[in-house]
Amino acid sequence: MISRDFFKAGHFPTLLAAFFYFDMSFMVWVLLGALAVQMSAEIGLNAAQKGFMVALPVLAGALLRVVFGVLVDRLKPRRAGLIGQLIVIGGLTLAWLIGVDSYMGTLAVGLVLGVAGASFAVALPLASRWYPPQYQGTALGIAGAGNSGTVFASLFAPGLAAMVGWNNVLGLAVLPLAVAFAFYFFAAKDSPTTPPPKQWSEYLATFRMSDAWWFMFFYAVTFGGFVGLASSLAIYFNSEYGLDAVTAGFFTAGCVFVGSLVRPIGGALADRIGGIRTLTIMYAVAALMLIVVSFRPDSVYTALSLFVAGMLAFGMGNGSVFQLVPQRFRHEIGIMTGLVGMTGGIGGFFLASSLGISKQLTGSYQAGLLAFASLAILALAGLTSIKHRWRTTWGAVGVAGARI
């Protein structure tokens, strides 16, 4: 699906560096979710506390994406990425050396891990600025496939915690982060077409554009669904079906792997048939899967299949949204990536925290799942209402070869 001409465009080492940085950052961003079963058993957390613990890094990452979006515009992407990586490496090293043994301690770690979540606002503009509009879906799909880092957290963290203790896993996570930092330092380069920093008034002007709010909402559902489930499914499989921490991690990794793998496919498909059409299908599938799984199937494998299908829809939806954003906001891609990424994280915080609250208050996750399914339905309705305007305004005057 990726054309040969794509590899002749842009700067492939930078694209790889953006992917690897994003990948390792996302691995640690959801690390508390992967370790939640073991941490809560040792520290003694209730369902609501577990939900908030895994949701806080998502919220912190969401808010910090705006900060790093501004840094990208003012310092350029490469330098902003170096700063973010050093903060995360230093914070995790300190947490490992001091030791975390309380609920408040886990929240402090969660705030540091939020900086890793902000990598989204750096990696995507770093890659995007090297590629022409007709390859935006593919390039940002590849860079955005760094979502796959969440797979490594779910796959390896619970098993490592069982062997060496979950606090030592915080220290072990520094090792791949250091490798990613070194590769990024030598391979990543800023595009020569990087625009000059904007005036502060120009950042605020973005909020007056209705399309910016639409993109923020659309990504709040697609990425929010992906990262919210990535952070919560280990807890879900453990509490609903009695799976141990390691097995629940394997099940979660399977779901997350699918959502990560198909992000570039979603971007490439959007390049071919249009982002609007691709998103329409994805929202419908995601809403249906969440509604069905909310009734808690008797078989854990049925639940797994439904979550896999839902994550597939969310993952492809992520790629589709960012096939559209650079076409509409090419000159504001830094701040728009920060804003859209922020609301994506807020969507994930809403899903993860609402699942914990739902379980705490009702003894079931159904209310939380149905609430997010409702957001997917609202996104589908919103997309349907504005697609004609988009296709006849900025979509009609876009660069030849780029489809919306």
Tell me the pLDDT tens digit for each residue of 260-314. Answer: 888 888 888 888 888 899 999 999 999 999 999 999 999 999 999 999 999 999 9
**Whole-number Å distance between alpha carbons of 187 and 179:** 12
Is there a domain that residue 322 lies in?
A: yes
Average pLDDT over residues 364-384: 97
Specify the CATH number for the domain of residue 53.
1.20.1250.20
Tokens at 177, concatenated = 């982060």
Q: Is residue 78 part of a domain?
A: yes
What pLDDT digit, counting tens, does each position of 11-46 carry?
A: 889 999 999 999 999 999 999 999 999 999 899 999
Asked if residue 381 is part of any domain, the answer here is yes
* 116, 61 contact by CB (below 8 A): yes
Domain of 246, in residue numbers: 14-186+208-392
Residue 1 resides in a domain: no
Tokens of 79: 């330098």
- Per residue in 65-101, pLDDT (tens digit) is 888 888 888 889 999 999 999 999 999 999 999 999 8
Instruction: State yes or no: pLDDT of 8 exceeds 90.
Output: no
User: Is 375's pLDDT higher than 60?
Assistant: yes
Whether residue 201 lies inside any domain: the answer is no
Both tokens assigned to 110: 């969660």
Torsion over CA: 206, 210, 213, 215 (sign): negative
Phi, psi of 402 (to 5 degrees): -95, 130
**Domain annotation covers residue 194:** no
Per-residue confidence at 202, pLDDT binned at 50, 70, 90?
A: confident
Q: Tens digit of pLDDT for each residue in 95-150? A: 999 999 899 999 999 999 999 999 988 998 898 888 887 777 778 778 877 778 88
pLDDT band per the 50, 70, 90 thresholds, residue 197: confident
pLDDT for the residue numbered 399: 53
397 part of a folded domain: no
Count the domains in the chain. 1
Using a cut of 0.95, tell me whether the model's pTM lies above it: no
In a domain, 400, yes or no: no
